[in-house]
Copies of this chain bind each other. A is one copy, B any other.
């Protein structure tokens, strides 16, 4: 079997339309602790995306504050469309020359489109009273996701609490408290 980019590249004679197909994006995912669910459609789920430089995700949000918490995509930009409901979205710029990190936020309703540039920390929150659904497309076949809180406070093994206390200018106890919440057993995704 020929491997390209680490994924099998089928012999042309064996290829069928199903290699470019994935069903089920009409079904909500199971909400996580923050009240959101990401259903990914990357090259890992849909082999035909290999070498094509694009992927997708459906994102579900529970009502009254369900959130897709601050995260980054290390290898892709994102363009999001609100299919149902309303979302407060935002992203933070990388460090500016004056030492600031600018937050840009926007209240979105059904049919609104918003863009999150590659690698920037961003989030989406359902501040409506009904569930919300969005489709997010990414400029990579496998853009990756780094959920900031999980990666910083819930890594395996944990980052030293002394290091994080200094980084977040807080007490070691506070770090321990947050880390306990993100202990691996709880970090379902």
Contact = CB atoms under 8 A, between A and B. Distances in A.
Interface residues of A, number: 117
B56 A146 contact: no
Q: What's the number of copies of this chain in the assembled complex?
A: 6
B168 A137 contact: no
Interface in A1-43: 2-6, 9, 12, 15-18, 20-27, 33-35, 41
Interface of A: 2-6, 9, 12, 15-18, 20-27, 33-35, 41, 44, 46, 48-49, 52-56, 58, 65, 67, 69-70, 72-79, 81-83, 90-97, 99-106, 108-121, 123, 125, 135, 137-139, 144-159, 162-164, 166-170, 174, 177-178, 181-182, 184, 187-189
